[in-house]
Amino acid sequence: MQDEVIIDRIKEAVGSKLGFFVGAGISKDSSVPTFGELNKKVIESIGGEKLKADECILLSENIRPEVVLQIGVEELGQDVLISLEMLLGYTPNSNHFFLAEALKQGNWVFTTNQENLIEEACRLKGLEIKRCYEDLHFEEFVEKYRIDEEPDPKNIPGGYLFKLHGTIEEDKEGKERFKSILVALNQVGQGLKEAKRKVLTYFLKNYDFSFMGYRCQDDFSVYPVILDTDSKRSIFWLDHDRKWEGKLILDKEELEKEKKIEESKPPGEKRCFKTINVNAFLLKREESFKLVTDTSEYVRNKLWPIFKTSAHYNTFEQWAKNNIGEFKRNMFIGRLFEHLSRWSEAERHYKEAIDIVGGRKDREVMAKQRLADLYYRQDIGRKEDEAIEIYRKCIDTFKELENDFKVACLKVDIANVKRRQGDYEGSKKLAEEAEKELASIMKKSEEYELGYARCLNVLGLAHLRGSKEELEEGIKFCNESKEIKERLGDKNGVAESENAIGLLLTAQGRKLVKENQELSKEKFREALDSLKNALNIRMRYGFFRGCAQQCRNIGDVYRELMKIEEDKEKHLKDSEKSYNEGITYLRLIKPEAPIGEILHYNQRKAGLYADFVELTQDEGKKRNYNSKIVHIYKSEILLEGSPMIEEIKNNPVEFRNARNILERTKKSLEEMNLVSEAEEIDEMLEKLTLWIR
């Protein structure tokens, strides 16, 4: 069989110098919960009776485990890491015993797993192994073997187990067991610490590697090191799939084809990031073998016999039931629903939290601040006004509690809402005031630094309607904000800063159009780079509303390029595609898409078409795109029974946009002597006018 190519090479490697890199997949046959299963159990345990079964499934399938754990740590404290005890109490399987044998023969094993089944397999075989799992251990390894000096690979001793995301220290008690584990989102987002990165890079450069049970989806820690390390060594990739008895892929073209199929899927269709990431890595190597098969069966039947029983702990379930009060439970659940843009469910849980604070001002202000954040994020005028009012009341409470840091952060929140409402001067003044206050109380802690970084980002955006010089100053603030977030591993914050930089660069491009068109184009191109970086991060987090906003902003840049570059229809198509992708992302928000935002994106498209009609001299194209505008309003926005009608009635801005676009279209149709089409527009305008009256 063709898969024997890999199996024979791995057999040869046992006893020689080979690196193994393994992930959670190797422990599946031991019934160890995957991170996805752990994610669901954490949500079920904390949510308790407040969450229905279908809600637990919705949340666990749409929020990454790192995000859930980060929210858990923020709302419930470090005790939430007790959930990792669900990874304890299992027995090694044939994969673990095979790796124990590989270690015995002087090979090396790298893993992202935190459980100790490889170590247990070694113990049962009477083997003593060397482990590195804390930053200090990796630093000592680098120093001892002079890794910085690129030593001869023959001189590096074998038998090391490297645990890149830490380990559960079973000889310790409670949450002390989990101190070395990098699971919370902001921790993983920092990337591997320098010593870990150096060790992994050295081994990838100097030894052949076999990968098993690893999905390549730790996008912000291990995977970037694997992808970016140049090496001429061979890679044997065992891709677990029970459907295949053994499919060997050696052809680079087939790997590229698989990758492109996933990358080209539209937003509504789920992409397999595992395939994208794995194949991107394999394509960089001169020699790579990808075997798609039931890898556990191959290891079990050809390399090692099975040792398997099962047991598990339920300590976390007991902790979640007995130690999390209703206030914290509501706050945790509210955050999860908010992450999925389930506004009404999030609001209900935050309000329940407020109702049960029992006179504790610290808790009351915490819940009210979350509620205000929720209102602000909904992007509805009246909700934004409510958010400002709540923020102001929270400031008064934090002043009573003598918490200057929180007071300054709340001023940043108000400044951000004011910016969204168009009050850029008021936003800038308040953000500058907050920046001075934060700078004066800055402490060396992640919370303070991230608070300051957010302030810089809002301050930068407050320059959005300023002069060219003020826009440049705004970009500097946002870049400084991004640098802090990158250092602290706040990837979501990095996306926010990239988006802000993209918006400021777009504004610069608009300012430069008349005086220096080439420089204007350059600014627009830079804006696209920043906005696409932000979109890539949002996609990895499954943050659909954020993805939609990035698509809208990207579409706006292509719209500007359409106005000044020769190939106008190409840029129109790019802009149209971005707006459509934005709408697709909005429709992925469950249980129902945000109609107001879909209306906004549809009107963005209609405005794009109206711009193009005014730019082109081609009568056929004018007619075609005028027809598209009519179709948008007739078949979607103003269609009888459409929920968008109510949105236009209640939103003066959207009403004005609709009237402006329709009037421009009517004028164009009249100039082309298309009388009946112009009369159709007249009917639509009459409807709009009647609604407002």
pLDDT digits (tens, 9 = 90+) for 146-160: 999 999 998 999 999
For the chain, how many helices (H) and strands (E)?
31, 8
Say how many C-beta atoms besides its own lie within 10 A of residue 412's C-beta.
Answer: 25
Tens-digit pLDDT profile for residues 599-622: 999 999 999 999 999 999 999 999
Residue 318, pLDDT score: 74
Question: Which whole-number Å values give the CA distances from 46 to 72, 332, 355, 371, in the listed order?
Answer: 9, 8, 19, 20
Q: In 3-state terms, what secondary structure has residue 423?
A: coil
Dihedral over Cα of 686, 687, 692, 693: its sign: positive
Q: In the structure encoding, which two tokens stand for residue 357, read together? A: 């604070």
Distance between CA atoms of residues 571 and 651, nearest Å: 30
Percent of the chain with pLDDT over 90: 57
Radius of gyration, CA atoms only, the chain: 28
Residue 300, pLDDT score: 61
Residue 591: asked if its preceding bond is cis (omega within 30°), the reply is: yes
Closest among 132, 115, 146, 278 to 192, alpha carbons compared: 132
Residue 219, pLDDT score: 80
Place of tokens 């951000």: 416
Q: What is the mean pLDDT of residues 573-592?
A: 89
Name the H helices within 378-467.
381-400, 404-420, 424-441, 446-461
Tens-digit pLDDT profile for residues 111-159: 999 899 999 999 988 888 899 999 999 999 999 999 999 999 989 999 9
Residue 183, pLDDT score: 56
Q: In the structure encoding, which two tokens stand for residue 548, read together? A: 């939609």
Closest among 385, 450, 393, 457 to 423, alpha carbons compared: 385
Question: Which whole-number Å values give the CA distances from 313 to 39, 89, 98, 604, in the listed order?
Answer: 16, 6, 26, 54
Lowest mean pLDDT among 21-25, 106-110, 303-307, 572-576: 303-307
Residue 1, pLDDT score: 47
More confident site: 74 or 590? 74
Residue 15, pLDDT score: 46
- Helices 404-420 and 361-377 pack at an angle, to 10 degrees, of 20
**pTM, 2 dp:** 0.77
The count of C-alpha atoms lying within 13 angstroms of the C-alpha of 432, restricted to the half-sphere facing its C-beta, is 10
Dihedral over Cα of 119, 107, 274, 303: its sign: negative
Say how many C-beta atoms besides its own lie within 10 A of residue 540's C-beta.
Answer: 15
Tens-digit pLDDT profile for residues 483-512: 999 988 888 899 999 999 999 999 999 999
Percent of the chain with pLDDT over 70: 91
Distance between CA atoms of residues 210 and 237, nearest Å: 6
Q: What is the mean pLDDT of residues 349-356?
A: 94
